[in-house]
Amino acid sequence: MGVGIEVINLNAWYGTNHTLQDINLHIPANQATALIGPSGCGKSTFVRCLNRMHETNPIARVTGTVRIGDLDIYEDAKPVQIRRRVGMVFQRPNPFPTMSIYDNVASGLKLNGYTNRRVLDEIVERSLKNSALWEEVKDDLKKKSGASLSGGQQQRLCIARALAVDPEVLLMDEPASALDPVSTSKIEDLIFELKSQYTIVIVTHNMQQAARVAEKTGFFLNGRMVEFDSTHKIFTNPSDKRTEDYITGRFG
Amino acid sequence: MADKGFEWLMVLCALSIFAIVVLIASELVKGSNLSWNQFGFDFFYKSVIDSYTKLPNYWDPVNGHFSALPFVYGTLVSSFLGLLMAVPLAVGLAVFLTEMCPPVLRGPLAFITELLAAIPSVIYGLWAVFVLVPLLREYVNPMLIKLFGWTGFFGDDNPSGLGYFAAGVILAIMILPIISSLTREVMTAVPNSQREAALALGATRWEMIWISVIRNARIGIVGAIILGLGRALGETMAVTMVIGNSPGIYRSLLANGTTMASVIANEYAEASNDLHRSALTEIGLALFFVTIIVNAAARLLVWAVTRGAPARVQ
Amino acid sequence: MRSERKVWSRIRTLTDGAATGLAVLSTVLVVAPLVAIFVYLIYKGASSLSLDFFTKIPKPEGESGGGMANAIVGSAVLLAVSSAIGIPIGIGGGIFLAEFGRGTKLANAIRFTADVLNGVPSIVMGVAAYALIVSPQKSFLPFTGHFSAFSGGVALGIMMIPTVCRTTEEMLLMVPNAVREAALALGVPNWRSVLSITVKTASPGIITGCMLAFARVAGETAPLLFTALGNQFWSTSLNEPIAALPLQIYVYAISPYDDQHRLAWAGALVLIVLIVAAVALVRYVTSRGVLKGAS
């Protein structure tokens, strides 16, 4: 089951760039939350702060509190533990090029020390079914490399890989921006399915996508969160002028 | 915890490269102490005059006279000859490969030059002893003597075909690939806009190569040449097999000589006493420092060009 | 005016032609010796190779027959020692340069030192190994005080480190960052991610890099002259002088006997086949990219 995320006074820097400034919000459990805004507004940095991927860059720095469920991720845990609870899907599909489809999905478990064949088989199948890829690949799970799939399939493979570790939260950083419309709609359907089991945070600069999949939407601008509300409210009756300008296409 | 440990292990491996350089230097310094105390700096440029023959006596293990002068001379002469022959060919090859070569030939030719670089020194030596030296002895040397004998650089008193010149030829063949491949690297780093600019002015292909490619890449080319020099200075086996191994200083390029590396190869295992071995170690130390400096200089020049924008020192 | 310009344009065309001709000529002059060496080597080597070469040890000077079996085994022993030293340290150093030290001053200094160490003449490595292992009676290292296979292996191993280190780094840098991020995002500890994902992804390239270093030292003679020394008899002990293929080629090449010259050619052919195979493999793998199937 998913858990809620509480963000309090989050600030982040890249070198001397203050990329996130005083972010405060509550992301509800078992819903999809969309983050929109023009490119460079800090929305990607924000999700990378939720699983401490931000700090893999040596010039990056973070302050503030992020609570996932009841775990303060910057105080109580190591990055490795957090990333097992918070899965992530990246902008461009990035399957491990030298591994088969099966090994790609099982990689997170194997690397964390799971060896039981039967359990692995079961989880791989379940994850691929959850990511709606099972029917397309079940015959050559171990024959084909992850890199031999099409772009959309690769992205669903990456989702399966993230799901296999059984996270509570799934972060998606513009998961469909590199895909064609058909693959995009498959991913969106998938997000709908997955909401019941996971808390989903999705970064997108496609506003229709946000409107289609998310219950809540946050609008980022220049490193600040301008507005955070139900998706319906944001797209029909935003309370901030800048949000209105953005969704009506005056800039961005 | 495991992460930190792993990182430290990797750092340790990396640091061992420093440690090796320091270890080599300290062992060589320790080993050459005896000779250094005895001869000091004179070792590299002075020699004892034999009281009987009135000729310089450079290298006399029996009486304990040691001077590295003939070896320094032999190293410089053979390396210089090698560069003289290799550089024009290497640059020509690089120009051909980057600017003129039909794409079909580029792969195989690059592969062939790579192969030249991978052939062991001892096999070059073997080939030189049985093919190159007879060729020089029968055809090339007589011609050189006839044409240039009057300069005094090509004396006719060594019928063996061995000597500085043979060493220079084999060195040229051996250092060609490294000079050529690095030259190619710096030439490829010249942006295409530079070439187009020259061609748009109505330049011929050669003018374009000269104005935009060679001028922009020249610092890197100098680096490549210096790197080739570094190889030539330390090259051992092939040179030892064809230079004739005679510890003297001769004006004639066709005379037998010795280099710093080849005297070590010939005498180290059977050095007659501690002073002899220490003198040989000191030659090794000198070779170590010279090649380190030469290589460092060359790398800096090549880096300056291939990293970032082409050098703009006009 | 007009005719002057015509002449000038003529000169330019001629210069262009001449330059092209010179470039082609130098290419021919570079390729010619290689072809000459190879043709001669194959011709002489193949006609001298026989089963004896691989199964017998050298006959005493002047007697005909014999082979280089002990030198082949000796080379294998020396290369095993050198690989045991050079490959792990080299790969470790390469991992540091590509994964941990990227952009730091320390990494730049190490990269530079490795390149410079690569240019130190092999004969100097021999002198250093002699001073370190052969000459001292007591030391922290084993097998000291006399010529030994161990000392030769150490000299060769040190020579492998810079090559292995730099190719490992280059291959790891070719692994896209997305692959590292994907591993880290799964909650994999960094060391596992580096070893099981990044290094594994680049492993075809790293292995061929090791083979390249291996092929280079396989042909080295100078550092063995006064460390491994050579041996006319069977020996596989690390504690004793040992024969090596390139050493034996050298000794036979400068000997006065025709029979030994033939063995030298045969040895050279065996050595070069090994090396050419390694270089060709490296070229094949690197041209195909380290990532099979990755777009």
Taking residue B285's Cβ as centre, other Cβ atoms within 10 Å add up to 23
CATH number of the domain that residue A98 is part of: 3.40.50.300
Span B206-221, mean pLDDT?
85
- Whether the CB of A148 is below 8 Å from some CB of chain C: the reply is yes
Alpha-carbon gap, residue C122 to B236, rounded angstroms: 8
CB contact under 8 A, C23 and B295: no
Span B12-38, mean pLDDT?
94
Do C38 and C99 reside in the same domain of the chain?
no
Least confident of A101-115, B294-308, C232-246: B294-308
Span B139-163, mean pLDDT?
88
Q: Which residue has the higher pLDDT, B206 or A33?
A: A33
CB C278 within 8 A of CB C215: yes
* Domain extent for A51: 5-247
Q: Is residue A105 part of a domain?
A: yes
CA-based nearest residue in chain A for residue C176: A94
Looking at residue B66, what DSSP letter applies?
E
Do C156 and C258 reside in the same domain of the chain?
yes
Q: Flag whether pLDDT at C294 surpasses 50.
A: no
Q: Flag whether pLDDT at C160 surpasses 90.
A: yes
Q: Is residue A232 part of a domain?
A: yes
Q: 3-state DSSP call for residue C33?
A: helix
Name every chain C residue with its beta carbon within 8 A of the beta carbon of A80. 187-190
Least confident of B21-30, B258-267, C99-108, C119-128: C99-108
Nearest to C92 among B9, B115, B265 (CB): B9
Q: Is residue C292 part of a domain?
A: no
**Segment A108-165, tens digit of pLDDT:** 888 777 888 999 999 999 999 988 899 999 998 998 888 889 999 999 999 999 999 8
Do C62 and C171 reside in the same domain of the chain?
yes
Do C154 and C35 reside in the same domain of the chain?
no
CATH number of the domain that residue C96 is part of: 1.10.3720.10
Number of compact structural domains in chain A: 1
Q: What is the pTM of this model?
A: 0.84
Span C231-251, mean pLDDT?
91
- Whether the CB of C105 is below 8 Å from some CB of chain A: the reply is no
Do C21 and C118 reside in the same domain of the chain?
no
CA-based nearest residue in chain B for residue C107: B14
Please, what's the b/e burial string for B141-171 (b: 16 or more CB within 10 A of its CB; e: otherwise)?
beebbeeeeeeebbbeebeebbbbbbbbbbb
Number of compact structural domains in chain C: 2
Least confident of A62-71, B26-35, B159-168, C54-63: C54-63
Do C105 and C187 reside in the same domain of the chain?
yes
Q: Which residue has the higher pLDDT, A224 or B40?
A: A224
Confidence of residue B310 (pLDDT cuts 50, 70, 90): very low
ipTM higher than 0.85?
yes
Q: Is residue A119 part of a domain?
A: yes
Beta bridge partners of residue A87, listed in sequence order? A170
Do C279 and C237 reside in the same domain of the chain?
yes
> SS3 string of C146-210?
CCCHHHHHHHHHHHHHHHHHHHHHHHHHCCCHHHHHHHHHCCCCHHHHHHHHHHHHCHHHHHHHH
Q: Flag whether pLDDT at B314 surpasses 50.
A: no
Residues 93 through 122 of chain C touching chain B, CB cutoff 8 Å: 93, 95-97, 99-101, 106-107, 109-110, 112-122
Q: What is the structure's pLDDT at C251?
A: 92
Q: Is residue A60 part of a domain?
A: yes
* Domain extent for C30: 2-48
Q: Flag whether pLDDT at B308 surpasses 60.
A: no
Q: Which CATH superfamily is domain B21-308 in?
A: MetI-like (1.10.3720.10)
Q: Is residue C295 part of a domain?
A: no
- Whether the CB of C33 is below 8 Å from some CB of chain A: the reply is no
Span A217-221, mean pLDDT?
94
**Which one of C12, C104, C116 would you mutate to disrupt binding with B, by most B Cβ within 10 Å of its Cβ?**
C116
**Segment C107-150, tens digit of pLDDT:** 999 999 999 999 999 999 999 999 999 988 877 788 888 899 99
Q: Where are the domains of chain B?
A: 21-308
Q: What is the structure's pLDDT at A5?
A: 94
CB contact under 8 A, C295 and A80: no
Q: Is residue C129 part of a domain?
A: yes
Q: Is residue A252 part of a domain?
A: no
Q: Which residue has the higher pLDDT, B93 or B199?
A: B93
Q: What is the structure's pLDDT at A49?
A: 93
Q: Flag whether pLDDT at B313 surpasses 60.
A: no
β A199-203/A17-27 pair status: unpaired
Q: Flag whether pLDDT at B78 surpasses 80.
A: yes
Mean confidence (pLDDT) of chain C: 87
Q: Which residue has the higher pLDDT, C165 or B49?
A: C165
Beta bridge partners of residue A88, listed in sequence order? A171
| C18 contacts: CB under 8 Å, gap ≥ 6 | B206
Q: Flag whether pLDDT at B74 surpasses 90.
A: yes
